[in-house]
Amino acid sequence: MSPSITTEVVDFILKKNPSPTAVKTKAVDHIIDGIAVMLAGSRTECVKKLENYICEKGGVPSSTIVGFKIKSCPSDAALVNGTSGHADDYDDTQLSSSPDRIYGLLTHPTVPVLASALATGETVDCSGRELLEAFIVGFEVECKLAEAIKPEHYTQGFHTTGTIGAFGAAAASSRLLGLDEEELRFALGMTASMSSGIRVNFGTMTKPLHAGMAASNGVVACMLAKKGYTADRESLDGRWGFMNVLGHGVDPEKLIGKLGNPYALLYPGASIKMYPCGSLGQPSMDTFLEIVVEDDLKPKDVQEIRLRAGPNILEPLRYTSPINGLQAKFSLQFGLASILLNRRAGLREYTTEVVNSKDVQEVMAKVKTHLDPEVARMGKEKMRSIVEVELHGGRVIRRVADTARGTPEKPLTIGELDAKFRECASFVLENDKLEKAAEMIRFLEDLSSINKLTSLLKH
């Protein structure tokens, strides 16, 4: 008889052992980053439309909508906050631990879990320590399920942040709501039926909605389970279970005995982004930035920029001529053009106005992407590409790109992470409130009530 994936997940969530110090330290970094991108995302058009809808809908105001002055019911707060956190594509990315699991195409682990935990945590007035432990559990469940499900889940069109992210959200909320074993099994069963998100919506407002739906679905499933709502007790397993129906199967050895052993936060870790765009372009952009800075390149110096990569990079980053800020997030042409023009590609660059500017359009025309079978054969556990810069006069600078700042190989310093938080938070928070919030998150484990933090996250 095959081991039960569902039972393994349930047993891990129900354990109350405190997390190791190293895991908690990493988790705090990702929570800082998660709240940062939620604050920044609250200014985007798609989130403002969603917040408008929630206001019209009404509901019991118990959970904070980050970046706004209002509260709403927990599931709706999770919906908006999850969408905010993914709206700029600036949130963290799960790493692959094996060549057949495609790095960059697994899940964005923090936002669905954190949005769910914040919304649920406010309703029970949890402590910072309780929020931290719930986040760690949800993050771990999400990452290990994403590793275990067959890669076809993603390659054939599902967006793992929306699908698997919902299970991480449910795991976090279940810990904070104190679900027992039976309730937890029902919550996972409901989550299995609700989770969705398809890649056709990349480059539109609906992609970030996937993360919001994942967070909200996890909250709804747990709250319904607490009221006695039932579902199948083995929803992840068997012919009709989630892993087979949506994932073409599962590799149990990637999850059985692996939850918390080691924690995904420690190995292989997760990448915190330096650029608000698709993760698959980050190594190419960071490597190109190194070339631009080292050779002090200006647009007038460059004849052509060639980027050679496999289909794992070029197919998702499919907008060769983006027409707005959302499409630009999935465009190597824009990312490299912004680096050459500005030596940066931040939140203020990824706008429709900048994308359609004359300077950007001229430089994007210099960027050519090439499907390279040799690069593809190197494997997909890293986001590999070859960056070639041909200068006027014929000189060619060639460099392999396979990592970026923010990855475990090149972790961000505390200063770099704090700078990202300030950049993101500055769109909606005044400086004194921003600094108080940053300090409170950094010492989250000492916080007596999560409501002290959420009260600072309002415009």
In the chain, the number of structural domains is 2
Q: Are residues 347 and 422 in the same domain?
A: no
Is-contact 111 41, C-beta < 8 A? Answer: no
Q: Are residues 14 and 77 in the same domain?
A: yes
* pLDDT value for 247: 87
> Is 185 within a domain?
yes
Is-contact 190 163, C-beta < 8 A? Answer: no
Q: Are residues 295 and 435 in the same domain?
A: no
pLDDT tens digits for range 254-281? 999 999 999 999 999 999 999 999 888 9
- pTM for the model stands at 0.91
Q: Are residues 440 and 306 in the same domain?
A: no
Q: Is the dihedral of CA 81, 86, 91, 97 positive or negative?
A: positive
* pLDDT value for 104: 53
pLDDT tens digits for range 64-73? 999 999 999 9
Is-contact 19 27, C-beta < 8 A? Answer: yes
> Is 187 within a domain?
yes
- Res 1 pLDDT > 60: no
Q: Are residues 260 and 386 in the same domain?
A: no
pLDDT tens digits for range 182-241? 999 999 999 999 999 999 998 889 999 999 999 999 999 999 999 999 999 999 999 999
> Is 129 within a domain?
yes
Assign residue 13 the CATH number of its domain.
1.10.4100.10
- The residues facing 306 across adjacent strands are 368, 388
Q: Which of 126, 138, 176, 177 is nearest to 450 (CA)?
A: 126
Q: Are residues 396 and 270 in the same domain?
A: no
List phi, psi (to 5°) of 105. -120, 25
> Is 459 within a domain?
no
Cα(436)–Cα(345) distance, rounded to whole angstroms? 27
pLDDT tens digits for range 204-220? 899 999 999 999 999 99
Q: Are residues 37 and 154 in the same domain?
A: yes
> Is 69 within a domain?
yes
> Is 330 within a domain?
yes
* pLDDT value for 103: 58
Q: Are residues 159 and 194 in the same domain?
A: yes
Cα(158)–Cα(174) distance, rounded to whole angstroms? 25
Range of the domain at 209: 5-274+412-454
- Res 41 pLDDT > 70: yes
Assign residue 374 the CATH number of its domain.
3.30.1330.120
Q: Are residues 207 and 251 in the same domain?
A: yes
Read off the pLDDT of each residue in 31-59 and give the average, rounded to a whole number. 95
Read off the pLDDT of each residue in 22-31 and give the average, rounded to a whole number. 98
* pLDDT value for 341: 98
- Res 102 pLDDT > 70: no
Q: Are residues 155 and 203 in the same domain?
A: yes
> Is 407 within a domain?
no
Read off the pLDDT of each residue in 401-412 and give the average, rounded to a whole number. 91
Of 401, 425, 444, the residue that ends a domain is 401
Q: Are residues 173 and 37 in the same domain?
A: yes
What distances in angstroms separate CA 213 from CA 12, 24, 223, 413, one per listed residue?
24, 26, 15, 32
> Is 385 within a domain?
yes
Q: How confident is the model at residue 105 (pLDDT cuts 50, 70, 90)?
A: low
- Res 326 pLDDT > 90: no
* Stretch among 79-88, 170-179, 294-303, 309-318 having the lowest mean pLDDT: 309-318
Of 356, 372, 401, the residue that ends a domain is 401
Q: What token pair was written down for 329?
A: 């997030």
Q: Are residues 267 and 315 in the same domain?
A: no
